[in-house]
A and B are shown apart, each in its own frame.
Chain A
Amino acid sequence: MNALTYESPGSVDEAVKLLAAAGSDAKILAGGTDLLVQLRMGMIKPALIVDVKNISETTVIKEESGGYRVGSAVSGAELGEHDGMNNTWPGVVEALELIGSTQIQGRASMGGNLCNASPAADAVPAMIPADAVCTIAGPDGRREARVEDIVTGPGQTSLKAGEMVVDFYFPPRPARSGDAYLRFIPRTEMDIAVVGAGISLTLDEAGVCSAARVALGAVAATQLVVEDGAAALIGSTLDDAALEKLDAAARAACRPIDDKRGTIEYRTKVAGVLARRAAKIAQQRAEG
């Protein structure tokens, strides 16, 4: 059995060096709400845990060029207390805040939610419509990637050995923009998504949708970008006909599994309903 080592570097460069040296034997610790459960259950046996919470870049939220840069290890509780993110990207904030209890919110982060790569992750289908861009640091330097390009399958990401997500950039919002995330669970709290739907949109002065992004969670092996759903909204006032097209596009995109949380038929139906409802909430927020 490998002995476990714990490190808490003070910079991204140090963290990357540690990660690169340990290769696949290393795990990153942000909030630990997934990692420590996996460790405890023996699902993972890392030789090195790199705690990234002593790095300022991964733990702060800052305004930048009219948008916000959010550290990958910022907790749900901290994000929920940030006025700028609440005002600009309420759908992203509500998605992260849906994860777990108050105790989990004290620790769980967007970086962890993304890199844990669960098909049912709540933050991810809200970050995708927001066009959030990840900064990724690795042995070869830094690169940027869109959130939708990170998760490649359950528990699998496109991150290379030694790479870590440093932060997420949420771009500035045009006037009359809004976003929303809805998920369905059989109770009101403390459960894993049966379906999640995230929508971001912008309206013109006449209230016609000029831009939209639609994503679904928990209905395929990865989060889905529903381009036909966005196309259904663009050019409309989100009238019944447009919402019916969105509903149909969401259902058509679904490739869910049958499990104890929901059947294929049920998840597909709910995906359409949630997409419609999220679109209406995003519209109301855009109208301000």
Chain B
Amino acid sequence: MAKIHVSTTVNGEPTEFLCEPQQTLLDVLRDELRLTGSKEGCATGDCGACSVTLYGRLICSCLALGAEAEGHEIETIEGMADGDSFHPLQQKFLEHAALQCGICTPGFLVAAKSLLERNSDPSETEVRYWLAGNLCRCTGYDKIIRAVLECAADMRGA
């Protein structure tokens, strides 16, 4: 069975890959493109550890096929920092100790970035609902929510 040739853009870089029809976008990112920042937690769209954006929408990359990326733009956690400089959300997560084991962290960061791009001044409730599809079994969420809210405030002030 011939593999599918896909031309796409990953974190702003034109990228091509070959994939099997049943390979998920997450599988392609991790196994073909070696972008292992996106994690596989549940593989059923419940945990959000594989969050990326595809055509500007936040999605679970475990619930998309790699072949669907043809002609579209993908943003992953690897595109978040600017060289050696953290994105403000990454910095805030460190300051607030908003991560422990770290498996959920890339997904939370990608999801939170997507929120702040749409809503620069979210309420705590809005942050909690937006991130309801990202599960964390370590932090109890509060530190994550504080980090996102404080980052939003800082970014508005900047």
Contact = CB atoms under 8 A, between A and B. Distances in A.
How big is the A interface, by class?
20 to 34
Contacts of B64: 32, 36, 107
B132 A32 contact: no
Contact of A103 (B51, B67, B129): B51
Contacts of A103: 45, 48, 51, 58-60, 63, 111, 133
A11 to B, nearest CB: 16
Given A102-B132, A103-B59, A106-B59, A33 B45 contact: yes
A77 B63 CA distance: 16
Contacts of A83: none
Interface in A168-206: 189-190
B100 interface: no
A166 to B, nearest CB: 19
Contacts of A3: 1
Contacts of A49: 21, 65
Contacts of B132: 101-102, 189-190
A34 to B, nearest CB: 9
Nearest to B67: A6
Given A103-B48, A104-B133, A190-B132, A36 B62 contact: yes
Nearest to B131: A102
A32 B65 contact: yes
A37 B63 CA distance: 7
Contacts of A106: 54, 57-59
Interface string B63-85: 11101101000000000000000
Given A6-B4, A102-B133, A103-B48, A36 B21 contact: no
B91 interface: no
Contacts of A39: 22
Contacts of A9: none
B44 interface: yes
A9 B45 CA distance: 26
A126 to B, nearest CB: 20
Nearest to A6: B21
Contact of B67 (A8, A41, A104): A8
Interface in A67-107: 75, 77, 100-104, 106-107
Given A29-B65, A33-B45, A190-B133, A107 B21 contact: no
Given A3-B1, A37-B45, A39-B22, A77 B57 contact: yes
Contacts of B18: none
- Most chain B beta carbons < 10 A, residue from A51, A75, A101, A189: A101
Question: 9 closest Cβ contacts across the A-B interface?
Answer: A101-B133, A106-B57, A6-B21, A189-B132, A106-B59, A4-B21, A3-B1, A103-B60, A103-B133
26 contacts: A4-B1, A4-B21, A4-B22, A5-B1, A6-B21, A8-B70, A29-B65, A33-B45, A36-B24, A36-B45, A36-B65, A37-B45, A51-B65, A75-B57, A101-B132, A101-B134, A102-B111, A102-B115, A102-B130, A102-B133, A103-B45, A106-B58, A106-B59, A107-B63, A107-B64, A190-B133
Interface of A: 3-6, 8, 29, 31-33, 36-37, 39-41, 49, 51, 53, 75, 77, 100-104, 106-107, 189-190
